[in-house]
Amino acid sequence: MRSLASMRRMWVLMGTVFIDMIGFLVVLPLLPYYGKRFDASETVIGLLIAIFAFAQLTSAPLWGRLSDRLGRRPVILGSLLLSAAAFALFGLTPRVQIALGPDWALALLFVSRLVQGLGGGTTGVLQAYVSDSVQPDMRTQALGWVTAATSAGVMLGPLIGSFAFRFGEETPGFLAAGMCLLNFVFAWRLLPESAKSDEAADDEAATTGAARTPAGAPAAAPRRTSLGRAILRVLSHPGDERSRLILVYACGMMAFMAMNGVMVLYLDQAYGVTEQNIGWFYAYVGGLSLLMRALMLGPINQRLGDVRTLRVGTLCLVLGMACLPLPRLLLPQSDVPALIGFALAVFLVPVGTALLFPATTSLVSRLSLRNETGQNLGVQQAFGGVSRMLGPIWATAVFQFVGISAPFWLAAGLMVGVLAMTFGIRGPAARGAQVADTVPIEPA
């Protein structure tokens, strides 16, 4: 019965994430095109992408801590309302351009991205919801299911956005806002508060060395680390296993976001991709991500374990990012074969992200105390927020001033460093081991 209840919560959560991601991807691929239409340079477009990450950076740890106190559900519902407001502002930008000029439209686009980032700072809360609902040894697979729902939204959202654009520049934004409001109603009625089962709690207590008290008596809550100290600990103790995992996540996310920040600009300049057909590229990548996370992640993770899974994912990203510019350079006279080669190279990117990020998040949650899971995942998202902010900024600047291929190769070089970092990670301690500072470290 507990497993059935957990699966019911997971299915509703996946439905919520799926609809939310469709709305998000309706407008995201169009963002660089709108920026160019409002006279923004490539570097300014990078700032436009980065302000979303800035809002995530400032809000993610607070959302995580608030969800630890008030519950995951109200925080998830609040984020949906913020996203609806942000997309409505996005839909107003073409009208503002006509009425007040491109500068005001660009400013409103920045405000839209800021509000959207505040609503998007709840990724750690969604991950904590999963951690609350399933046993530790199933978390990577469960996180893969949630990200599979995300990938399904990534696959459909851009196609809907490209189609909606044909009915007017304001249509994609208003459509995304309406979808968020419908999603809010869906989640309000069907999404329950997360509840950690006793079986999962026992399993986690054994993993972290925190024993439950006999006869159902409440265990004394371990002292909670302050939010500031949790962030500083990652920087002051980068060799600790949990800190290293957070840094692996952050550096991997920076490389991924650097690549993602220039992708639409690259496709526009190298292959002439427009608003009407950019959706097909995102649908292709989203479809690959969906297959990886829904069908392949679980078996791969069960065979390799979390640590080796994240290493394989990192290697795939190294190879994929390094190869992305090669088809255009090797086949400069023919767009169609070069675009086919690009599609083959980009195949490695969703494979890599599907393996790297869920496995990393699972390990961070398994190395966290029960009452600090949301906070630690929020800290991870805070570091990821820095990466999401910095990656597009330097990538678009390099794209504009160095060359359109350079950002991909720099991102690949960064992933080589991430791969080296993963070899210092050994995974959770043996069940029942007693360790200092509540961080389980597997003996050598």
- Distance of alpha carbon 59 from alpha carbon 55, whole angstroms: 6
Closest residue by Cα to residue 140 from 150, 130, 149, 153: 130
What is the pLDDT at residue 121?
A: 67
What is the pLDDT at residue 333?
A: 60
Mean pLDDT lowest for which of 20-29, 87-96, 145-154, 197-206?
Answer: 197-206
What is the pLDDT at residue 23?
A: 81
Q: Residue 55, Cα to own-chain centre: how many angstroms?
A: 14
The answer to whether residue 201 scores a pLDDT higher than 50 is: no
- Distance of alpha carbon 335 from alpha carbon 322, whole angstroms: 19
pLDDT band for position 103 (cuts 50, 70, 90): very high
pLDDT band for position 186 (cuts 50, 70, 90): confident
Per the model's pLDDT, the better-predicted residue between 260 and 221 turns out to be 260
User: Residue 237 in 3-state DSSP?
Assistant: coil
Buried b (16+ CB within 10 A) or exposed e, 10-24: bebbbbbbbbbbbbb
Q: DSSP readout, 141-201?
A: HHHHHHHHHHHHHHHHHHHHHHHHHTT-TTHHHHHHHHHHHHHHHHHHHH-PPP---HHHH
pLDDT band for position 219 (cuts 50, 70, 90): very low
Q: How does DSSP classify residue 37? A: H
User: Cβ contacts of residue 417 below 8 Å, gap of 6+?
Assistant: 251
Would you identify the CATH topology of the domain 2-192+227-427? Answer: Growth Hormone; Chain: A; (1.20.1250)
Mean residue pLDDT of the chain comes to 80
Q: What percent of the chain has pLDDT over 70?
A: 81
Residue 6 token pair: 């957990």
Average pLDDT in the 126-143 region?
Answer: 70
The answer to whether residue 8 scores a pLDDT higher than 70 is: no
pLDDT band for position 434 (cuts 50, 70, 90): very low
Residue 72 token pair: 């995951």
pLDDT band for position 223 (cuts 50, 70, 90): low
Per the model's pLDDT, the better-predicted residue between 59 and 99 turns out to be 99
The answer to whether residue 213 scores a pLDDT higher than 70 is: no
What is the pLDDT at residue 198?
A: 40
* Cα distance between the two ends of the chain: 39
- Distance of alpha carbon 427 from alpha carbon 247, whole angstroms: 15
In contact, 292 and 351? CB cutoff 8 Å: yes
Q: Extract the runs of DSSP E, i.e. beta strands, from 233-310.
A: none
Q: Residue 254, Cα to own-chain centre: how many angstroms?
A: 11
- Distance of alpha carbon 444 from alpha carbon 442, whole angstroms: 6
**Residue where the block lists tokens 């050598």:** 444
- pLDDT (tens digit per residue) in 334-361: 677 888 888 899 999 999 998 999 888 8
- Distance of alpha carbon 435 from alpha carbon 10, whole angstroms: 32
Q: How does DSSP classify residue 72? A: H
Average pLDDT in the 210-224 region?
Answer: 44
Average pLDDT in the 9-27 region?
Answer: 78
Per the model's pLDDT, the better-predicted residue between 284 and 60 turns out to be 284
The answer to whether residue 311 scores a pLDDT higher than 90 is: yes
pLDDT band for position 242 (cuts 50, 70, 90): confident
**Residue where the block lists tokens 């980068």:** 238
Average pLDDT in the 298-309 region?
Answer: 86
What is the pLDDT at residue 91?
A: 92
Closest residue by Cα to residue 384 from 406, 361, 414: 361
Per the model's pLDDT, the better-predicted residue between 409 and 77 turns out to be 409
Q: Where are the domains of the chain?
A: 2-192+227-427
In contact, 26 and 160? CB cutoff 8 Å: yes
In contact, 392 and 260? CB cutoff 8 Å: yes
Residue 408 token pair: 């991909």
The answer to whether residue 432 scores a pLDDT higher than 60 is: no
Sign of the dihedral through C-alpha 359, 364, 368, 372: negative
User: Residue 309 in 3-state DSSP?
Assistant: helix
Q: How does DSSP classify residue 214? A: G
What is the pLDDT at residue 441?
A: 26
The answer to whether residue 444 scores a pLDDT higher than 70 is: no
pLDDT band for position 243 (cuts 50, 70, 90): confident
Closest residue by Cα to residue 345 from 369, 316, 373: 316
- Distance of alpha carbon 52 from alpha carbon 388, whole angstroms: 8
User: Cβ contacts of residue 189 below 8 Å, gap of 6+?
Assistant: none
User: Cβ contacts of residue 107 below 8 Å, gap of 6+?
Assistant: none
Residue 231 token pair: 């962030």
- Distance of alpha carbon 368 from alpha carbon 365, whole angstroms: 5
User: Cβ contacts of residue 241 below 8 Å, gap of 6+?
Assistant: 363, 367, 425, 426, 439, 440, 441
- Distance of alpha carbon 88 from alpha carbon 210, whole angstroms: 47
Per the model's pLDDT, the better-predicted residue between 290 and 442 turns out to be 290
